[in-house]
Amino acid sequence: MKPVAVITGTTQGIGRVVARRLAEAGLHVVMLCRDLVAARRQRDDWLAKDPSLSLEVIHCDLSRLASVRTAASQVLEHHANLQLLVNNAGLASLRHRRSADGFELCFAVNHLGPFLLTELLRDRITTGGRIVNTASRVHHKAPSLNLATVADPQAPYRAANAYAQSKLANVLHTLALVRRLEGTGVTANCLHPGVVATGLLPRWLQLVKTLWDPVIFDATQGAATTVKLSLAPELDGVTGRYFDEYGLPQEPSSLARDVGLQERLWTQSRAWVGLPATSP
């Protein structure tokens, strides 16, 4: 039986490349996607070209916590063990939008949805398994972690700050998760994929990011670090690290390294997604 990898957001860009690489490496790839039509078309196209690939499509809208729960239950129903979880999907928004559950949309899609998915699936990840979270170097630009803005529809909104805060949350989540995985043999790492010219990021964000990250990658280049963190044998047992677009470990921001902030986000995130206040 092939080891199972779960990955979000595979119909475009980096996620599309990563999913294909995982399948070619011999994993059974469960693709969690909002656009089922596009995901099924992608699966059928890949299988027509290479019938040896093992692919599965499940609907998952990260902006809707109920959808995340349904997707997780489908994964758990069909798979007793997981080897890999890649939280790849993300969103940037120019205007202040709210999720179906009432949260600022960028934060909901980039953090709360993946946080809930991880919590629902992590007990099924086997010893030696890996969790990979896509963050961004933009997290260094987050001026703070202002959780009051997440659930307040009247909060002032700046698109760049909202995106940076959501990416800071990805790093904070990863580092808090590592403590909870201690003794399980499961690792968790996060990464900056680079500025990738896939059309997924709005033009303004690509321009802002190039101010401190002038190299623009294509999707294949942008997927390289995610693929490395997912598959590289030399990373067995490596956990709690933040990697750059070249696959090299780097120090995250001082805010991201703040243990108190990590725990504050963890506690509030569990409350927001409807999980019990305490966790192992």
Beta strands 28-33 and 82-87 are: unpaired
Query: Sign of torsion, CA 24 27 33 38?
Result: positive
Exactly one of 157, 163, 242, 246 is catalytic; which is it? 157
Is 242 labeled as catalytic in the residue annotation? no
Q: Across the chain, which distance is largest between two alpha carbons, in Å?
A: 51
Q: Torsions phi, psi of 223, nearest 5?
A: -80, -10
Query: Sign of torsion, CA 177 35 191 55?
Result: positive
The helix/strand/coil state of 217 is strand
Give the burial string for 126-147 (b: 16+ CB within 10 Å, else e): eeebbbbbbbbbbbbbbeebeb
Instruction: Give catalytic residues, as residue numbers.
Output: 157
